[in-house]
Amino acid sequence: MLLGLLLASAPPDCLAETIHVPADYPLIQDALNAASDGDLVQVAAGRFEQAGINLPGRAITIRGTTDPIDGSLLTTIVNTSDPWNKGAATSVFVAGSGDGPQTVVRDLVISRESTGSSFGGMSGIRIIDGGLTIVDCLVLGHDTGIHASGAGERIVTDCVISGNGSSDSFGSSAGISISGGTLTLTNCQVIANGQGVSASGGAQVTLSNCIIGDNGSSNSFGGGAGIRVIGGILEVSDCEIARNFGPGLDLGTSVQATIAGCVVSENGLAASSFSPPAGLTSHNSTLQVTDSEFHSNRGSGLELRDSQSSIEGSSMWRNGLACGAGVTVDGGTLALDQCQVFSNVAGPACFALIGVCDVTGVQSEGNTTITNSWVCSNQGSWGCPNGQPAPQVSGSWTDGGGNTISGSCVVGCCTNDLCLDESNPSFLGNTLQPLSCLEVGGEPLWYGTCEECLRGGACCVGSGCSEGVDVAECDRLGGTWTEGGSCNDCPTTCPADTNRDGSVDGQDLAAVLANWGLPCEG
């Protein structure tokens, strides 16, 4: 009697069961139908040819088998549905209104091995007015990898979504497509799909620590964007969005977008001479960008049309390889603060198309304010009369103060352990181009004097003291470094065998410097 009471009062998790496929049930659908809240459906290693598997609307985990040594996925479910049919029956898994984030699909390869388009009908996972959590899965070969519509919370973590959609899909397929509801994408790779992530219908999409790259093709309509949102909310942080055939990010009407800590590069591979895609395009949307880089895109780094935009602490460089500027503003407002816009080029397509002289660093046909920023070394000479350089900032704009607007960037540059500035005659003839920082292993995110670059610290080298030496140099000299310190913080007592002039009995000065650093001043 006591045992029965204990079992009756035990929490549901204590009664959870593991149901094995194919040992207990040969079909995954039958195992799911038999499962209750908290149960685990464990699918063995191997290949399972099944489709149209309906999730039962309960808190169940469907898990494949992984290699115990390297964690690789050993369970593959192949979509066997008719590619000419449409709808949920052509998907491997189907979640409905009863499903939510408590329903979990994990550790599976979800594949379609046949080729050719089914006109948007086949999905690896289809979610209709419901939610789902997807973890550590590989979804590939479908028209859309994950297709969600209607309300619901969708969580995708540590997944690879690749090879979904065909080159002739006319923009109708994607790695992930969502209309309505929410999507949280973390630590995922969405690569080589018709489009990367496509969102509409007021969806709220959040991406962090993801790679969105190589999506689209030269044949797909619009080239295939990395992330395309029409209406809704988009939050992207610490992501790399690169080498997409269309724009890296394409924001349609009424999008509220926040981009932070991202690198958006080499997008617009399908660039035609008529419309080279930008790293980011924004149409009638609200955009906030912080601490991000936009570089080497075929069109402009950012193309802002009738949008309310704020860009802070970011860099736009080497954009416009086909035609464009660092930032293009066509209507709306832009506040550019603490940014670097340099080495952008108005490529040959600009001359072929418009033959004008105003495509350069910042091209403004809107209400633009630039504050505390560098705009320099941009090349907009295509179409300029007599080969004259274009202005670094063209059109109507407001100088908010603290700016450096120059045809060349003559500034200091920290390149790892080395400081380069205009006083160094051996570096580019006293004219330092920020892009060259990359060529010698540095970062293009800081410009100023060498003193600022070295951070004003004190380096105690042996018993001597050196001002203004950076950490790496101090380590090389065998000393210790104190940020913000001074020589007064360092020991000043000379070794017994060291003379005040830095020499040591029986040694020359070079040997002393090798052992102690600079001559002792104590």
Distance CA 380, CA 241 (A): 26
Residues 6+ apart with CB under 8 A from 218: 167, 245, 269, 270
The first and second tokens of residue 77, run together, are 């479910």
In which element (H, E) is residue 473 found? helix 471-476
**Which of 236-245, 261-270, 376-385, 461-470 has maximum average pLDDT?**
236-245
Q: Nearest CA to 214 among 245, 247, 260?
A: 245
The rounded mean pLDDT for the chain is 78
User: Kindly report the CA angle at 315 between 314 and 316, in degrees rounded to 5?
Assistant: 130
Across-strand partners of 282?
251, 304
Average pLDDT over residues 429-452: 44
Statement: residue 39 has pLDDT above 50? yes
Mean pLDDT of 166-195: 83
Which H or E element spans position 264?
strand 263-265
Compute the distance between CA of residue 79 and CA of residue 347 in angstroms, rounded to an integer. 45
Please report the pLDDT score of residue 121 as a whole number: 66
Burial of 513 (0-12, 13-18, 19+ CB in 10 A): middle
Average pLDDT over residues 167-188: 81
Beta strand spans in 3-87 (E):
18-21, 40-43, 46-49, 53-54, 61-63, 75-78
Give residue limits of the domains in the chain.
14-218+235-243, 247-401, 408-453, 457-522
CATH of domain 14-218+235-243: 2.160.20.10
pLDDT for residue 263 is more than 70: yes
In 24-122 the beta strands, taken as DSSP E runs, fall at 40-43, 46-49, 53-54, 61-63, 75-78, 93-95, 104-106, 109-111
C-alpha separations of 37 from 7, 57, 126, 268 in Å = 16, 9, 21, 47
pLDDT band at 65 (very low <50, low <70, confident <90, very high): very high
If you average pLDDT over each of 345-349, 493-497, 513-517, which comes out highest? 345-349
C-alpha span between 369 and 377 (Å, rounded): 20
pLDDT in tens, 72-102: 999 999 987 765 555 556 889 999 999 999 9
Mean pLDDT for the stretch of residues 272-294: 88
* Alpha carbons 489 and 178: distance in angstroms, whole number: 60
Q: How would you class 224 by CB atoms within 10 Å of its CB: exposed for 0-12, middle for 13-18, buried for 19 or more?
A: buried
Q: What is the mean pLDDT of residues 136-156?
A: 95
DSSP of 219-238: TSGGG--SEEESSEEEEEES
Which pLDDT value is given to residue 460? Answer: 65
- Say whether pLDDT at 129 is over 60: yes
Residue 248, pLDDT score: 97
Q: What is the pLDDT of residues 284-320, one digit of tens each?
A: 999 999 999 998 899 999 999 999 999 999 989 889 8
pTM for this model (two decimals): 0.77
